[in-house]
Amino acid sequence: MKTKSILIIILFQFFAQGLYSQQVKYTLEEAVTEALKNNAEVKVALLDITKAEAAVSEAYGYALPSVDLTGQYYRFLKTPKTLFPDFEAMLTNASYAVLFKEKVIPEDESKYLTMGYALQTFSLKNNFETNLSITQILFNSAVFRGISASGIYLELAKEKLNSVASKTSINATKAFYGVILSKELLKITESSLKNAEENLSNVNALLKQGLVSEYDQLQVEVQVENIKPKALELKRILEDAKNGLKIIMGIDQSQNIDVQGEITYKPEIFAGEEETIDLALKTNYDIRTLSLKKRVDEELIAVERANYWPTLTAFGNYSYAGAADDFDFQTYSSATVGLNFSINLFSGNRNKKRVEQASIATIQTGEQITLLRQSITQQVKSKISEIKKVQSQIEALERNVKLAEKAYGIAQARYSSGKGTQLEIKNADLELSAAKTNKLQSVYSYIMSKTELDDLLGRIEPKYLSAVHEKIDK
């Protein structure tokens, strides 16, 4: 039985390892969607919306009637007593006064008892009371302002979700292309290594025929050995890039993943600098979020000022109670309705100071908006300049790659015919690798700059926003 259990555990572990060893390929859309699904900041932003919706419901709740039902039962272990005029002396004296007045008996002042006070109880041992009360606010400025503030707070939470979703999609896109860049650089290096190894094979063949010197053979062999560490380092960089993408996507680090896509240059025509800046200042999610926060701050000022205004409420009460020395209760009830008016006349300047604090918070948010607008203006200018610079370079770099490929072919042909040297082939290979790398990095820089400009402009694929907002409905 124990052997059978061990075999099951081993088979399970083997099966689990097999699952993790299976490579999963992600397109850009799949990677971004996965990141939006698992990202912790997105989850926090979604919870903020749920919290804001609850705050809106709470705010409306203050404007609705409040109904309270209370009840209590109590028994006196020792009934309370109260000082009260002596009933015995009072009745005795009254009786004698009548008898004397009617001449029933001869008048005798000594018959009167001295009036005083005696401890007497008016309470029964068992008591109960129930009370139903209804209160409805008729006027309270703070309640109405609170409803308005909670509605804007909900808008703020939704705008913040858009901002977080935009940044998450941007980060996932950058990480995705970072993996592709690492793959392409590794591919260029491996291609250079393959060229060097093929060249070494040719030189070895020529050396056997006595057509080249051993020095040439050593040069090529050194070139091969110098490229190998670069390839190993790029493999490590590729793994690091994949692990970084896994973190953003929120998947397990043990998962074997790859990406499906390529770095290609798709030229676009961009609007002018001033027009793009104006658009960014209107559509940037961070500015929109801060603008809504300022509106919330302004509403909070109004809420604090509302404490200066009076409160008018209507109320109704119904009470049902009973008392008895045993449990045969004598019951009675009462009902009242009315209005309650209250206004604060002085509170130690607390209201004034709360208004001041709320006003300062609004000014601070305004300063943050000003600073952010300046920062975004500068960033948009920088990105547009960077995009234009890269665009002007890419065409020249594409031509340079073709020239480098042609030069490498000529160098090989010259060496094979005995007219060239290994130095020519080595230099041609270095130039070809550099040309390919420069072009690749320029196109990557173009994609990154364009992606970051889209973030500044508040541009995010509608399907990504829809996927995030679907979670709100769920």
Report pLDDT digits (tens) over 262-285. 888 887 777 788 899 999 999 999
What is the per-residue pLDDT for 297? 92
Task: Tell the burial category of 323 from Cβ atoms under 10 Å away from its Cβ (0-12, 13-18, 19+).
Answer: middle
Whether 439 shows a pLDDT value over 60: the answer reads: yes
Is residue 160 domain-shared with residue 261, that is, in the same domain?
yes
What is the per-residue pLDDT for 239? 92
Question: What pairing do the DSSP bridges indicate for beta strands 82-85 and 117-120?
Answer: antiparallel
What is the per-residue pLDDT for 423? 66
Q: From CA 422, how far away is CA 223, in angstroms rounded?
A: 10
Q: From CA 136, how far away is CA 65, in angstroms rounded?
A: 5
Is residue 335 domain-resident?
Answer: no
The fraction of the chain above a pLDDT of 90, given in percent, is 33
Number of domains composing the chain: 2
Whether 9 shows a pLDDT value over 60: the answer reads: no
Is residue 179 domain-shared with residue 302, that is, in the same domain?
yes
Question: What torsion do the CA atoms of 97, 103, 106, 112 make, to the nearest 10 degrees?
Answer: 0
Is residue 4 domain-resident?
Answer: no
Is residue 163 domain-shared with residue 228, that is, in the same domain?
yes
Q: In what order do the strands lie in the sheet with 311-324?
A: 66-75, 126-139, 311-324, 330-342
What is the per-residue pLDDT for 113? 80
Q: From CA 128, how far away is CA 145, in angstroms rounded?
A: 41
Give the H/E segment covering residue 221: helix 214-249
Is residue 422 domain-resident?
Answer: yes
Is residue 53 domain-shared with residue 113, that is, in the same domain?
no
What is the per-residue pLDDT for 20? 47
Is residue 408 domain-shared with residue 270, that is, in the same domain?
yes
Is residue 170 domain-shared with residue 260, that is, in the same domain?
yes
What is the per-residue pLDDT for 228? 86
Q: What is the pLDDT of residues 94-148, one digit of tens each?
A: 888 888 887 778 887 777 787 777 787 878 899 999 999 999 999 988 888 888 8
- Segment 66-85 shows an average pLDDT of 90
Is residue 165 domain-shared with residue 56, that is, in the same domain?
yes
Q: What is the pLDDT of residues 293-344, one digit of tens each?
A: 999 999 999 988 888 899 999 999 999 999 998 888 999 999 999 999 999 8
Whether 11 shows a pLDDT value over 70: the answer reads: no
pLDDT band per the 50, 70, 90 thresholds, residue 440 = confident
Is residue 103 domain-shared with residue 148, that is, in the same domain?
no
Is residue 268 domain-shared with residue 365, that is, in the same domain?
yes
Is residue 90 domain-shared with residue 206, that is, in the same domain?
no
The string over 224-248, giving b where at least 16 C-beta atoms fall within 10 Å of a residue's C-beta and e elsewhere, is: beebeebbeebeebbeebbeebbeb
Is residue 394 domain-shared with residue 286, that is, in the same domain?
yes
Whether 202 shows a pLDDT value over 70: the answer reads: yes
Q: From CA 73, how far away is CA 128, in angstroms rounded?
A: 4
What is the per-residue pLDDT for 367? 95
The string over 310-319, giving b where at least 16 C-beta atoms fall within 10 Å of a residue's C-beta and e elsewhere, is: ebebeeeeee
Is residue 52 domain-shared with residue 90, that is, in the same domain?
no
Whether 442 shows a pLDDT value over 90: the answer reads: no
Domain, as residue range, for 263: 24-65+140-310+347-473
Greater model confidence, 106 or 13? 106
What is the per-residue pLDDT for 19? 45
Is residue 404 domain-resident?
Answer: yes
The pTM assigned to this predicted structure is: 0.73
Q: What is the pLDDT of residues 210-265, one digit of tens each?
A: 777 777 778 777 878 888 888 899 899 999 999 999 999 888 888 898 888 888 88
Asked if 231 contacts 190 with a C-beta cutoff of 8 angstroms, the reply is: yes
Q: From CA 277, how far away is CA 377, in angstroms rounded?
A: 6
Helix (H/G/I), strand (E/B), else coil: 134? strand
Q: Residue 167 belongs to a domain with what CATH number?
A: 1.20.1600.10
Is residue 177 domain-resident?
Answer: yes
What is the per-residue pLDDT for 14? 46
Is residue 130 domain-resident?
Answer: no
Is residue 167 domain-resident?
Answer: yes
What is the per-residue pLDDT for 473? 63
Is residue 326 domain-resident?
Answer: no
What is the per-residue pLDDT for 16? 47
